[in-house]
Amino acid sequence: MKILLVAGARPNFMKIAPILREIEKYSSELRGILVHTGQHYDQNMSDTFFKELGIKEPDYNLEVGSGSHAFQTAEIMVRFEEVCLKEKPDLVVVVGDVNSTIAAGLVAKKLHIKLAHVEAGLRSRDWSMPEEINRIATDSITDLFFTTEKEGTDNLLKERHTPETVHFVGHVMIDNLFYQLKKFGDKVPSELAENIKKRLPDKYICMTMHRPSNVDDEETLTRIIKALKAVSEKAPIIFPCHPRTKKQIEMFGFQGAFKTLTLNLSTLNTSINSVQAVEHLTNGIYLSEPLGYDDFLYLWKDAFCVITDSGGMQEETTALKIPCITIRENTERPITVELGSNAVVGTDPEKIVEYCNKALNKQWKESKIPELWDGKASERIVEAIKHSA
């Protein structure tokens, strides 16, 4: 059975890695071909992940790059179609909810190739999010669904998909999290991560933010920064910054709110605008380039809380029971709130500060690990794929 696995943007790589590793265990029956659409392409948004996650270099890189949604989706479709026509796979596996997911899905479906969607059935009910459109459109053409939480399955059944095609398997993102944690064990993943950690006090916060609804709107971004400034007077915030966010901060002229944390060890002592190697990271919001998976994990796993608008971080923090403050109005991953350590607080500065204070004072709710988030989702997926053949 020939399986094309598609990854395009940063969060896809973590989801594809465990599936690929599992497929490789059955090399006499299954052959996995990895296609990188090139939606993300910077060294620290893409290449770093392939190295760290222990997966092979992509068999194909479509090198699509950035552009409008229409351009990116169309370009992926044209280039992915060529790969499908050449390889004639039995199955195409797409993950998550990015433009690469729907683009590759459409191509597969129109070529009558069976389509599997990992992380299917999630719904934010917020049609202003491009991801919600991608999720619903992808699920409407999927043949084999893999869900991460019961609500995902319920949503698909309500949408009249046949129960035999829907498999509740747990979460490959959590497979990868456990795999990476085990891999580096007690060791420090890099000199860089160690250098940052050494300079932090016990009480610190990690943060990610890149949603267009938060960073493209000046008023919303102003509100969030106001809250971050107040919070960072109590504990430093480490903020590896997505290129979209960096661009917007510069465009609105908000750089003054941040301190720059340079990640280049060799220039630590010479960069004028940067935090010096010996300096302790006390109060402030420390902005840096995006970090690799292991380095960031090494930092956030010991943070007092994580502030984020990412879907994956809501789930990963739940898996390690780290308080998570989600700066969005809704979540498509309700289990992280119902059972996990996540609180969806929106972008009201007072609310963000209130919840950060709770986390910093260790007054967070008790949380549990969701069902089947046990590091074995990829085993269940590959088992179901073999059966489907």
Contact set with ligand UD1 (CB under 6 A): 9-11, 39-42, 45-46, 66, 97-99, 130-131, 210, 242-244, 247
Q: Nearest-5° angle of CA 219, CA 225, CA 230?
A: 135
Residue 130 or residue 346: which is nearer to ligand UD1 going by CB? 130
Residue 31 or residue 244: which is nearer to ligand UD1 going by CB? 244
Task: Report the distance separating Cα 293 and Cα 334, nearest Å.
Answer: 24
CB of 283 to ligand UD1, least distance (A): 28
Q: Is 160 left (phi over 0), alpha (psi -120 to 50) or beta?
A: left
Nearest CA to 287 out of 301, 273, 272, 266 is that of: 273
CB of 364 to ligand UD1, least distance (A): 25
Active site residue: 36, 161, 210, 242, which one?
A: 210
Counting every residue written for the chain, the total comes to 389
Residue 218 or residue 250: which is nearer to ligand UD1 going by CB? 250
Residue 110 or residue 247: which is nearer to ligand UD1 going by CB? 247
Q: Is 65 left (phi over 0), alpha (psi -120 to 50) or beta?
A: left
Residue 97 or residue 332: which is nearer to ligand UD1 going by CB? 97
Nearest CA to 261 out of 282, 245, 240, 242 is that of: 240
Q: Can you read off the two tokens belonging to residue 94?
A: 């797409």
**Would residue 210 show up in a list of annotated catalytic residues for this protein?**
yes
CB of 378 to ligand UD1, least distance (A): 21
- Compute φ and ψ for 247, nearest 5 degrees: -60, -45
The owner of tokens 């750089």 is: 255
CB of 59 to ligand UD1, least distance (A): 20
- Compute φ and ψ for 374, nearest 5 degrees: -120, 10
CB of 389 to ligand UD1, least distance (A): 30
- For the annotated catalytic residues, the residue numbers are 210
